[in-house]
Amino acid sequence: MKKQLFILFASLYFPCFFAQEISILKYSNKPIHARGIAVKGNYIFLGNNNGEVIRYNLKNGKSKSLNPKDTFPEIRDLALHKNSIYAMQSADCSIILMFNRFGNSMKIIHLITMELNPQLFLDGMAIENKEAFVMGDPVGNEFSLYHSSNLRHWKEITPPLPSFTGEAGFAASGSTVQISNGIYYFVSGGDKSRFFMSKDKGQTWIQSELPFKNSQASGAFSLAMKDTNNGIVVGGDYLAPNSNEHVCFITKDGGITWSAPTIGPFGYRSCVYYTDGVYYSCGTNGIDYSKDNGTTWIQLSHENCFSICSDTEYVYASSTNGRIIRISKLGNKE
């Protein structure tokens, strides 16, 4: 796919911004978007709403479909481990697809059904080394939680973790879950919004209530823990994307307490991402960043974006109509 590149300097349009290089990469001519995005080496991988997993080559701007027939329901999350890509499908028959050798085999080499209940809907997936953690909507007032220590054999986490009526996860960017230094994290939303942390692979959970507005369309959509003490959750109400009330909260004590920023993101946000001392968030009306641990946010772009990843030089946000927004990193490394 021919790469369409546009260099914009935010300071031309927004004098309060630092000069920043933003470009648009075109990975598909289809009217599709990706809620799952990951990058490694010269490739960006995208899991799209038409069920297609696409590999985009950053060197030559060409794209390759790893599953040419769009036979799968929407892909909601992607994760990488060494040279394999794991794609999380969310539907009545939710599964995880695995492609080897960066997808060069052009076939799915492993299929995980996890003895699924037909009602199961997966929301997010995280992989650290060979440890994997998957969270799905509650079934029978219990969260659907699975994990693996070898990425091939999966087990349901027990004992079950109860949920409240109307509480669930949002599969907006796959970032409702995280593994960091072996600690499992996830967040919920809806009629109840909570933060969960487990240091023993789900045997026990520490939890706290998140101060989001409670409704079926609102709550926590994404989590980024910088370290064991500091982290940010974002979300809001996706039916009111321009409202900046109750869209971001910060913790400095490992998720026990949460506070609002001084200047928050500029609307509903589906993803928050941390890299090199900077938090980035994205949603329906744009991309923001914070260089002071989430206290104040500055808007970088007004593009509708879904999910974020990064390499050593750039931050990538998946957008509408087969596009990727590429932003040169803001630095501020710690």
Average pLDDT over residues 277-296: 97
One-letter amino acid at 270 equals S
CB-based burial of residue 269 (10 Å sphere; 0-12 exposed, 13-18 middle, 19+ buried)?
buried
Domain-embedded: residue 119: yes
Domain-embedded: residue 130: yes
Q: Coil, strand or helix: which one is 26? A: strand
Q: Is the confidence at residue 8, as pLDDT, over 70? A: no
Q: Is the confidence at residue 166, as pLDDT, over 70? A: yes
Q: How far apart are CA 115 and CA 92, in angstroms?
A: 13
Average pLDDT over residues 324-334: 83
How many domains, the chain? 1
pLDDT band at 152 (very low <50, low <70, confident <90, very high): confident
| 66 within 8 A of 76, measured Cβ to Cβ | no
Domain-embedded: residue 71: yes
Query: What's the predicted TM-score (pTM) here?
Result: 0.91
Q: In CATH, what number is assigned to the domain containing residue 76?
A: 2.130.10.10
One-letter amino acid at 200 equals D
- Provide, rounded to the nearest whole percent, the portion of the chain with pLDDT above 70: 86
Domain-embedded: residue 333: no
The pLDDT of residue 251 is 98
Q: Coil, strand or helix: which one is 18? A: coil
Average pLDDT over residues 137-163: 93
The residues, ordered by sequence, that sit 6+ positions from 98 with a Cβ below 8 Å of its Cβ are 84, 85, 86, 87, 108, 109, 110, 111, 112, 151
Residues 216-241 pLDDT 10s? 999 999 999 999 999 999 999 999 99
3-state secondary structure 247-293: CEEEECCCCCCCECCCECCCCCCCEEEEECCEEEEEECCEEEEECCC
Residues 64-121 pLDDT 10s? 998 866 566 789 999 999 889 999 988 766 788 888 877 665 456 455 665 556 678 8
Tokens of 49: 């709403």
Residues 44-64 pLDDT 10s? 999 999 999 999 999 999 999
Q: Is the confidence at residue 18, as pLDDT, over 70? A: no
The larger pLDDT score, comparing residue 305 to residue 104, is at 305
Q: Which of 202, 159, 169 is nearest to 184 (CA)?
A: 202
Q: Coil, strand or helix: which one is 123? A: strand
Domain-embedded: residue 76: yes
Tokens of 41: 């080496």
Q: Is the confidence at residue 332, as pLDDT, over 50? A: yes
Q: Coil, strand or helix: which one is 101? A: helix
Q: Is the confidence at residue 174, as pLDDT, over 60? A: yes
Q: How far apart are CA 309 and CA 82, in angstroms?
A: 16
* DSSP structure class, residue 11: H
Q: Coil, strand or helix: which one is 136? A: strand
pLDDT band at 32 (very low <50, low <70, confident <90, very high): very high
Q: How, if at all, do strands 278-283 and 286-290 pair?
A: antiparallel
Domain that includes residue 108, residue range: 8-328
pLDDT band at 245 (very low <50, low <70, confident <90, very high): very high
**Mean pLDDT, the chain, whole residue set:** 89
Q: Is the confidence at residue 302, as pLDDT, over 70? A: yes
Query: What one-character-per-residue DSSP string does 27-88 give?
Result: --SSS--EEEEEEETTEEEEEETTS-EEEEETTT--EEESS-S--S--EEEEEEETTEEEEE
Which range among 19-33, 103-117, 197-211 has the greatest average pLDDT? Answer: 197-211
* DSSP structure class, residue 93: T
Q: Is the confidence at residue 333, as pLDDT, over 60? A: no
The residues, ordered by sequence, that sit 6+ positions from 310 with a Cβ below 8 Å of its Cβ are 39, 273, 275, 316, 329
Which residues, in sequence order, are bridge partners of residue 305? 319
The pLDDT of residue 102 is 76
Domain-embedded: residue 77: yes
Domain-embedded: residue 320: yes
Domain-embedded: residue 334: no
The pLDDT of residue 268 is 98
